Amino acid sequence: MPARSKRSSSGRASSKRRAAAKKKVESKKIKPQRAPEAAAVEPGGFDLMSHVLVPRHEIVPPDEREELIRKYGPLKLFPKILTTDPVVRQLGAKPGDVIKITRPGEKVPAYRVVVRGG
């Protein structure tokens, strides 16, 4: 008679444990709550723009954008920022938009062109 394998009996036990653990985890899952303004706040519900370490970001209006192009050259020469950046998503910026970043203590703002990324 062949000896009974320990693996088959422990395999069933571990399978039962896994199923019980999965059921326990699923029962404790927290459903994400949507913010009233989906574009203004990240899906996790955290407002990035109010954080002390995030400098002021704003989308540059078209007339100021044209002035920047005349002053500094074509947009392809500007530094880039990806559409997947959390601040860009919160602002609702689209590829081709220019973002003005004003850091405290700096006199000259930084500009970034939004490009498709990710």
57 domain residue, yes or no: yes
33 domain residue, yes or no: no
pLDDT along the chain (118 residues), means of 10: 55 72 62 43 74 94 96 96 94 96 95 92
Residue of 7, 110, 27, 34 lying closest to 68 (CA atoms): 110
Check residue 38 and give its pLDDT: 42
Q: For the domain that residue 89 is a member of, what is the CATH number?
A: 3.90.940.20
Check residue 17 and give its pLDDT: 78
Check residue 58 and give its pLDDT: 96
106 domain residue, yes or no: yes
Establish how many alpha carbons lie within 13 A of residue 35's alpha carbon, considering only the half-sphere containing its beta carbon: 12
36 domain residue, yes or no: no
20 domain residue, yes or no: no
Check residue 36 and give its pLDDT: 37
27 domain residue, yes or no: no
Domain that holds residue 53: 48-115
Tokens representing residue 18 in the block: 């896994």
- The kind and range of the H/E element at 115 are strand 110-115
- Alpha carbon 61 to its chain centroid, in Å, reads 24
10 domain residue, yes or no: no
Cα–Cα distance, 118 to 78 (Å, whole number): 19
Check residue 25 and give its pLDDT: 59
Our CA dihedral for 73, 89, 91, 106, rounded to 10 degrees, sits at: -60
Specify the number of domains making up the chain. 1
